Amino acid sequence: MKKTVEIIVHTFFWIIYTAITLMLSKVYLQAKPDAPFSDQLVYVISLELFMGLLFFYITFWGISWTKGKTMRVAILAFILLFLLLFFSYPAMRIGVWEVMSSILPHIILVFLAAIFRKFSDSVQLEQEKQNLMYQNMQSELALLKMQLSPHFLFNTLNNIDYLVHTDADKASDTLAKLGAILRYMIYDAAVDKIDLCSELSQIEDYIGLIKLRVKDEKYLKYKLSGNCQGLRIAPMLFVPLIENAYKHSASKEGENIISLEIQISGRNLLFNICNAYKPDEREPQKHSGLGMNIVKRRLELIYPNRHEIIISTRENVYTVELSLELDENEMHSSR
Amino acid sequence: MKKSIEIFVHLSFWVLFILFAVLLSKIYLEVKPDAPFAQHFAYVIFMEAAMGVIFFYTTFFVLPWVGKKTTNAAILGGILLALLILFAIPAMGLGIWQVLSSVVPHLMLVLLAFVFRKYADSLRAEQH
């Protein structure tokens, strides 16, 4: 829909541009019927249109291509300057106003092309914003569904109930973790970016609950290296991956069934999770569909060209490796 | 910062617009030195700029309000049409091309005001 608006605006612009060129030529010819171009009006209009299109779209697409790099900006400026001089050369023998009349409209077109570029970017930005909002909403819903599922709650509450009789302190601690996770999901995770340390703390709480579900301390091996201070990240990116690993693990008991490692190095973050899956499962985690798709889509929208997700299966081990490169806006120190 | 960029872009646009108007008038006067407006050159340029500013900023400032209701769009359309006719009346005695030369550039200004509005909105969104 938005792309259509852009195409309509461009089409109207060129129709009006051609109409203005034609009209000005006609008014000029009325004043000077013997002008040199009087016999070739269509050719002159076509040439004007061609030159206009050339200047406009070289600038329009060139600006995206430069990506703010000085060298590319210089190349674009050089090309435009060369074209300006090239097209104004024939007018140099006629007079200064004719030279100006060749240069100025093209400068105006270059200027307008830059504005149109911004217009185009704003249309795209709006579309991406809507997509992101939709995906975030989907993601929140999916997470709420996943985490607040009766299965998850009953399992955890049953375990807590058992702990109340055997280890009251641990029961209280687990209840606090459950409360913290629910509070985080409902209130804290409703923002675009969240403190990485808070997100990691939630992951630890979440792991604590998983361990409670399997009753085996060494069921999930978790290793964190690096410093999370001063970094921010999109909330709830990792939890679906951990839940996915748990859901599809080969067994709900035993040691090192799931292995999770998070490495932070400068502004780079590496998340790696492996789980053993049942050997008879031909396509492991194929049905993890919605959760995984939401994670992938969110990554595309929030970290375009700054993330890599590799999913592999080898010797009955399913691995998800996600690397993220945080930008300056995601570092507190630079704000 | 963003506001200053917006002001700079608008100023540059009007400088280019006036230069273009001067240029076209000068070229016309070169081939027809006895044109009726030859004696009132500055006044004509001023009028061109004033009409352009009216068309442009009527659209530019009213657009956010237009988006709220279809009736608002119809009101803006009515105002712009009335202005187009009003400004084209003096050219009606001169010929069809003169009438068109009054109408078409103003249509272009309305279109550009729409694009500039979007640009201004994107600058604001970026700032947010």
What's the gap between Cα A123 and its chain centre? 15
**A77 and A202 housed in the same domain:** no
**A187 and A291 housed in the same domain:** yes
Which range of residues forms the domain containing residue B117?
Answer: 2-127
**A153 and A113 housed in the same domain:** no
Domain count, chain A: 2
Which range of residues forms the domain containing residue A229?
Answer: 148-334
**A211 and A327 housed in the same domain:** yes
Q: Kindly state the average pLDDT of the residues B56-79.
A: 86
Q: Do A16 and B111 touch (CB under 8 A)?
A: yes
Work out the number of other CB atoms within 10 angstroms of the CB of residue B4.
8
Flag whether A172 is in a domain. yes
**A172 and A39 housed in the same domain:** no
**What pLDDT is stored for residue A273 in this prediction?**
94
Q: Do B16 and A122 touch (CB under 8 A)?
A: no
Q: Are A243 and A220 in contact (CB under 8 A)?
A: no
Flag whether A140 is in a domain. no
Confidence bin at A148 (pLDDT 50/70/90)? very low
Top pLDDT among A329 and A121 is at: A121
Q: Kindly state the average pLDDT of the residues A196-204.
A: 89
**A156 and A288 housed in the same domain:** yes
**What pLDDT is stored for residue A150 in this prediction?**
56
**A218 and A311 housed in the same domain:** yes
Whether A301 has a pLDDT exceeding 90, the answer reads no
CATH code of the domain covering residue A304: 3.30.565.10
**What pLDDT is stored for residue A328 in this prediction?**
74
Dist CA A114 CA A64 (whole Å): 10
Dist CA A94 CA A85 (whole Å): 15
**A104 and A204 housed in the same domain:** no
Which of B26, B72, B85, B88 is CA-nearest to residue A28?
B26
Work out the number of other CB atoms within 10 angstroms of the CB of residue B13.
19
**A98 and A231 housed in the same domain:** no
Residue of chain A whose alpha carbon sits nearest to that of B17? A108
How do residues A126-138 score in pLDDT, each as one tens digit?
777 777 777 777 7
**What pLDDT is stored for residue A302 in this prediction?**
81
**What pLDDT is stored for residue A41 in this prediction?**
81
What was the ipTM of the complex prediction? 0.82
Whether A335 has a pLDDT exceeding 50, the answer reads no
Q: Do B31 and A125 touch (CB under 8 A)?
A: no
Using the 3D structure, point to which of A62, A90, A124 is the last residue of a domain. A124
Q: Do B105 and A115 touch (CB under 8 A)?
A: no
Query: Best of B6, B10, B31 to disrupt the A interface by mutation (most A CBs within 10 Å)?
Result: B31
How do residues B73-126 score in pLDDT, each as one tens digit?
888 889 888 888 888 887 777 778 778 877 888 889 999 998 888 888 877 766
**A100 and A166 housed in the same domain:** no
Q: Is B81 exposed, middle or buried (0-12, 13-18, 19+ CB in 10 A)?
A: exposed
Query: Best of B11, B17, B27 to disrupt the A interface by mutation (most A CBs within 10 Å)?
Result: B27
How do residues A68-99 score in pLDDT, each as one tens digit?
788 999 999 999 999 888 888 877 777 777 78
The tokens of A135 are what?
């995906």
Domain count, chain B: 1
**A105 and A169 housed in the same domain:** no
